[in-house]
């Protein structure tokens, strides 16, 4: 049988396999709220401009309210034969309102309709992700304040480098996630033009008021070019790009949690809430939540790449290829939402082992740079020369299997006669971190100040990084 939604051009219905590949209702039904919102705004505009009668508009709006209630209650019957959420709602509206329902599609197309629906969805999703990032930043900032003076090893190349504080390390991720929030906020700004009214691709001859519909839907204004309005998916790509960078940051933190919680490091502990056991090894406590955050990053990257490939060769304006934008976006943004929630839980749950951290912080001659800096300050030695002297003292300590601060003064003086016993005031890990008072440094006083600043900022402005 013919599909009534396509009109008289088609004498018969699609082949079964065509219906299978063409239908999108299985996934785009989650745009129902946005589709109804767009239809309401469009209907009210049509009535206000006199394109349809007020009485007809009232009937249509009442039908849309009924459909919204049915969907919310779980009583709406979706049909794959009707392809997508737009046709499903339109068909139900026709059943409720009769022929007058057909007036709703005046001066619009599914092309501008789906672009509007999806843009509304992406904007809401980005705002949701900003909120989750805010929660994670707050957990990290509070942990940073609590552990502003908790010394731990700082690494480069995953080798012991210089002592830092755990609080300072937490604040590094606060900064990363602030950039992520700003990217999402910027993406929302660039998704602030409404496609509705662009129709199929060329606009419409009806005297519509696109400013009215844009305002009703929360946009700053209408998209300026009808071709671009229906064919643009930059707002999805930008959301997925930002999501991918956020996923990178989450995966890096997850990797550190996995490494830190392993017996070889033993720097942090997770409770039963975010670990699992082994079916055969009773002693195991596996950081599965962190491992899954790390692994799920691939789904986010994959979605971004998939949509880039879909869009890369499309001529203007709309092509059916663009139907394939939704599943990757839904998958990626849902996945990232779960990752953020899990990471917030892990950060709140995570407890550093202060004793183990302090011990590890002193390993690997991590205060060697402090020794070199002492030589520069006290002996007016060029840093490169001080670097060489320090390297010789480290080699001596290593050959004697002793810590740097335990090298006898006399042995140091054999390498550099100007060294005095004051040098020992800079060789402990505690003294090392206290000395790093430059802006952005790891000194506990710096960390406390910055953590407090972030906590205050997050409490006063929960919607922007």
| Catalytic residue positions, numbered | 157, 278
Nearest C-alpha neighbor of 107 from the set 191, 29, 50? 50
- For residue 317, whether the previous peptide bond is cis, meaning omega lies within 30 degrees of 0, is yes
Q: Which residues contact 423 (CB under 8 A, 6 or more apart)?
A: 371, 374, 378, 409, 412
β partners of residue 151:
165
> Which CA distances in Å does 198 have to 174, 214, 222, 228, 251?
41, 12, 9, 9, 40
Q: Quick one: which of 269, 252, 264, 78 has its CA closest to 176?
A: 252
Residues 242, 233, 65, 40: is their CA dihedral positive or negative? positive
Q: At what angle do helices 444-460 and 166-190 cross, to 10 degrees?
A: 30
DSSP codes, 159-192: EEEEEEEHHHHHHHHHHHHHHHHHHHHHHHHHT-
**Cα radius of gyration (the chain):** 31
Residue 145 near residue 129 (C-beta atoms within 8 A) = no
């Amino acid at each position: 049988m013919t599909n009534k939604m396509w009109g008289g051009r088609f004498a018969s219905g699609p082949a079964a396999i065509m219906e299978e590949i063409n239908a999108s209702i299985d996934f785009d039904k989650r745009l129902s709220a946005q589709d109804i919102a767009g239809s309401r705004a469009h209907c009210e505009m049509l009535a206000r401009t006199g394109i349809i009668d007020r009485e007809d508009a009232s009937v249509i709006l009442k039908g849309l309210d009924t459909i919204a209630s049915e969907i919310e209650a779980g009583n709406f019957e979706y049909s794959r034969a009707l392809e997508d959420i737009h046709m499903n709602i339109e068909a139900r509206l026709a059943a409720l309102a009769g022929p007058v329902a057909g007036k709703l599609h005046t001066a619009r197309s599914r092309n501008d309709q789906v672009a509007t629906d999806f843009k509304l969805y992406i904007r809401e999703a980005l705002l949701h992700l900003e909120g989750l990032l805010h929660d994670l930043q707050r957990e990290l900032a509070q942990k940073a304040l609590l552990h502003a003076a908790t010394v731990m090893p700082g690494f480069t190349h995953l080798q012991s480098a210089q002592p830092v504080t755990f609080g300072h390390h937490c604040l590094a991720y606060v900064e990363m996630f602030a950039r992520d929030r700003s990217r999402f906020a910027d993406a929302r700004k660039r998704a602030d033009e409404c496609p509705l009214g662009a129709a199929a691709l060329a606009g419409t001859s009806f005297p519509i008021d696109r400013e009215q519909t844009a305002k009703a839907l929360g946009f700053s204004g209408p998209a300026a070019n009808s071709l671009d309005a229906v064919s643009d998916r930059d707002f999805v790509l930008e959301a997925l790009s930002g999501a991918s960078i956020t996923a990178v940051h989450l995966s890096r933190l997850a990797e550190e949690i996995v490494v830190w919680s392993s017996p070889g490091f033993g720097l942090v502990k997770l409770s039963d809430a975010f670990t699992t056991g082994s079916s055969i090894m009773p002693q195991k406590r596996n950081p599965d939540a962190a491992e899954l955050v790390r692994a799920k990053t691939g789904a986010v990257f994959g979605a971004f790449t998939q949509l880039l490939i879909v869009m890369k060769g499309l001529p203007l304006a709309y092509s059916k290829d663009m139907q394939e934008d939704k599943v990757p976006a839904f998958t990626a943004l849902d996945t990232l939402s779960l990752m953020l929630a899990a990471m917030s839980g892990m950060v709140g749950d995570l407890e550093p082992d202060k004793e183990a951290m302090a011990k590890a912080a002193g390993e690997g001659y991590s205060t060697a740079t402090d020794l070199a800096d002492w030589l520069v300050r006290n002996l007016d030695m060029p840093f490169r020369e001080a670097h060489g002297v320090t390297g010789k003292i480290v080699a001596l300590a290593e050959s004697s299997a002793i810590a740097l601060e335990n090298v006898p003064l006399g042995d140091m003086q054999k390498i550099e006669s100007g060294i005095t016993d004051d040098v020992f005031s800079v060789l402990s890990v505690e003294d090392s971190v206290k000395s790093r008072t430059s802006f952005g440094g790891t000194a506990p006083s710096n960390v406390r100040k910055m953590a407090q600043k972030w906590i205050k900022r997050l409490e006063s402005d929960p919607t922007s990084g």
